[in-house]
Structure 1
Amino acid sequence: MIYSYAIEPELVATWGNKADYRYFCDKFGLGQPRMMVEFPKLKNWRRQVLQSAMGSGDQEMQKVTALIGILTERMISCTPKDEYDGTRSWLENAEEEHGNAPFQAILACSNPRGISFVIPPDSVGVPGDGRWFVSDQAPPDRTHTSLRNHLQGLLSNCSEIVFVDPHFGPENPRHRRPLQAFLCALLTNRRTPLTRIEVKTGTKATYDFFEKTCIREMPKIIPVGMEVVFSRLRQRENGEKLHNRYILTDIGGVNFGVGLDEGHESETEDISLMTRKQYDLRWEQYAGSRLAFDVADAPVPVRGRLQLPKLSHL
């Protein structure tokens, strides 16, 4: 649902013509399945783009500057496994980083070593190319493995994540199994620290039962070193209905047709990437500074005890 791309600065500098600008301006960012990775650090990447674009006409430079804004407004943070080597080319650095934590693809001015994950300009948009044509919707089976696999790109690349399911119950294995899979997936190919992990649900059970069950059961499914905050929301009188299920992150959000829980093997789910308008609304309602709901009682922070790669038996 979210796919990471490293983009060569010198390539972006060539996108100031009308055709390229129109094509790429709506291919990245919130509401799109493609997200640029911050590689190298933003200030260095931006400087390289602008230096490469020097000598372009005023209109071309305006378009390049606008594309920089679109690509970097919301992007995937990256702390490279190996320090960026300024004595080597950008592409050589990116290829090495791909070996540490794979990108969906690298967009570059050329592909001198003929590497399969590098897309040069004449290969962008070739029909049927799964490196570029990625889906914003999925119909996975309602098993924790299938749900996790379809969301791996979103989970690997976010820094903040909020799970919203009004019917989540820590006592239910069908809720715990997918959550465990999601939490473990957060650590796969991670390039940047996680700063926020929350689960938000409704008030079906008593608070005493909810708190005690979270404290008893949740450490078993949360990886060691990770803290997850569980909280309960209450619908306000004449307010927004607490009903839908979402995963909201700093790089985008997804809707679930049925729920975040696990179903039977014969069941399928409909997951879709939120548009920018949907995302802005739902993030503010459930994760922002002006919630659309009342926080029913004290949140329950839980630290994990699950040793990876071994998964607990549920």
Structure 2
Amino acid sequence: MLYEYAVEPAAIGSSWQNFRYLFEKFGFDRGRLISRFPGKWEREVYAAANAMKPLERARLEVALREGKQTKFIRSGRPYDPALGTWFQNAVTQHAVAPFHAIISEHNPAAVSGVITVDDVDERHPLMMSSHTWEVERVGTTLAAAMRPLLTSAKTILFVDRFFDLSKAAYQETLKACLDVISAAGGNEVRCEIHFCDHDKRPPPEIVAREAHRWVNGMLPAGMSLLLFGWKERPGGEDFHARNLLTDIGGISVEAGFSAEGAHQKVQLGLLTPDLVKSKLDALVRTSAVYELVQPVLEIRSDGSVHSA
């Protein structure tokens, strides 16, 4: 699962040993994400690293920069210096919109949900994160499970052999996901749907005529949705796996994105960065893995459809 942690900048930045030990515990592929709390969290960590040797501080700076795409999630929580310390702010926000846990140097009041740096361990109950889990096949439930990726990514691909915008079951999940993206201010996010072409799928001319009705009210102003159809190459890979792929991580969606109801479950699984990259590479326009079916269609927020 994907869990959000508040990590005290002064604690993780207190030494190179602390930073390296804690920082490696996080990532979309590990199921643990560092909340940008406050919004300039990386800057606070760098400021706290003043006591480090210059080489260690330089390595920390590189690690923070490289981790920007894979280890952080926007918090969206207010931070009020008037409340006092970072710890006091974190505990206050934890009571309003809980983190999965707070990691800090100390926990003087024995606040529940806090792990001190000395106690951070893969076997700690609050550090355990399953890499596969099940959720109900309901659009809002699927979107909630994928929320950390949907709110942090700049490019999002819904990959499902049978994804069909004309079907209510797919519309439900897509709308729920787009609502999450929109609420996070993601109207500049690039969203794509990748599916396998087959005889029962609406042809491009039908999509162009009816898409405004299928996605009515779903797309935030300024956002567009790209539709990619693919064919399997003779003797090549099949187009079976269903995945949410992004520029920062990915999740396998075993049974696909169709919302079939709470009586059914779908298994989700975290994908490694290497696997995400290989799957993304297989879905570029010049792919040698699958054959692109032209035209690629772009549905805009005003309902118009264009070749892209």
On whether the aligned pair clears a TM of 0.5, the verdict is: yes
> Helix, strand or coil for the counterpart of 2:216?
helix
Distance 1:72 1:151, change over 3 A: closer
Distance (Å, rounded) in 2 between the aligned partners of 1:138 and 1:284: 26
Q: Which consecutive unaligned segments of at least 5 residues does structure 1 have?
A: 306-314
Point out the more displaced range, 106-115 or 71-80. Answer: 71-80
Q: Partner amino acid for 1:199?
A: I
Q: Partner amino acid for 1:35?
A: L
Which structure is higher in strand share? 2
Deviation at 1:73, TM superposition (A): 5.3
Distance (Å, rounded) in 2 between the aligned partners of 1:77 and 1:254: 16
Distance (Å, rounded) in 2 between the aligned partners of 1:214 and 1:86: 50
Q: Percent identity?
A: 21
Matches for 1:41-80 after TM superposition, within 5 Å? 41=40, 44-51=43-50, 53-54=51-52, 68=64, 71-72=67-68, 74-76=70-72, 78=74
Distance (Å, rounded) in 1 between the aligned partners of 2:186 and 2:116: 27
Distance 1:80 1:138, change over 3 A: closer
Matches for 1:1-314 after TM superposition, within 5 Å? 1-14=1-14, 16-17=16-17, 23-24=21-22, 26-38=24-36, 39-41=38-40, 44-51=43-50, 53-54=51-52, 68=64, 71-72=67-68, 74-76=70-72, 78=74, 82=78, 85=81, 88-95=84-91, 102-112=98-108, 114-125=110-121, 129=125, 131-187=126-182, 190=184, 195-204=189-198, 205=201, 206-220=203-217, 222=218, 224-225=220-221, 227-235=223-231, 237=233, 240-263=237-260, 265-286=262-283, 291=287, 293=290, 294=292, 296-303=294-301
| 8 Å Cα contact 1:29/1:70 also seen in 2 | no
> Helix, strand or coil for the counterpart of 1:301?
strand
TM-score, structure 1 normalization: 0.75
Point out the more displaced range, 230-239 or 93-102. Answer: 93-102
> Helix, strand or coil for the counterpart of 1:267?
strand
Distance (Å, rounded) in 1 between the aligned partners of 2:135 and 2:210: 29
Point out the more displaced range, 197-206 or 169-178. Answer: 197-206
| 8 Å Cα contact 1:28/1:36 also seen in 2 | yes
TM-score, structure 2 normalization: 0.76
1:156-176: per-residue Cα shift (whole Å, max 9, x none)?
444432211121111111211
Distance 1:6 1:194, change over 3 A: farther
| 8 Å Cα contact 2:252/2:270 also seen in 1 | yes
1:247-281: per-residue Cα shift (whole Å, max 9, x none)?
11233101122211123544332211001211121
> Helix, strand or coil for the counterpart of 2:207?
helix
Distance (Å, rounded) in 2 between the aligned partners of 1:61 and 1:271: 38
Distance (Å, rounded) in 2 between the aligned partners of 1:247 and 1:134: 19
Distance 1:80 1:178, change over 3 A: closer
Deviation at 1:54, TM superposition (A): 2.9
Distance (Å, rounded) in 1 between the aligned partners of 2:79 and 2:20: 34
Q: Which consecutive unaligned segments of at least 5 residues does structure 2 have?
A: 304-308
Distance 1:213 1:128, change over 3 A: farther
Q: Partner amino acid for 1:120?
A: T
The CA RMSD over aligned residues, in Å, is 3.8
| 8 Å Cα contact 2:70/2:249 also seen in 1 | no
Point out the more displaced range, 246-255 or 76-85. Answer: 76-85
Distance (Å, rounded) in 1 between the aligned partners of 2:83 and 2:49: 20
Distance (Å, rounded) in 2 between the aligned partners of 1:233 and 1:46: 45
Distance (Å, rounded) in 1 between the aligned partners of 2:77 and 2:185: 8
Q: Number of aligned pairs?
A: 296
> Helix, strand or coil for the counterpart of 1:283?
helix
Point out the more displaced range, 104-113 or 271-280. Answer: 104-113
Q: Partner amino acid for 1:296?
A: Q
Deviation at 1:141, TM superposition (A): 3.0
> Helix, strand or coil for the counterpart of 2:4?
strand
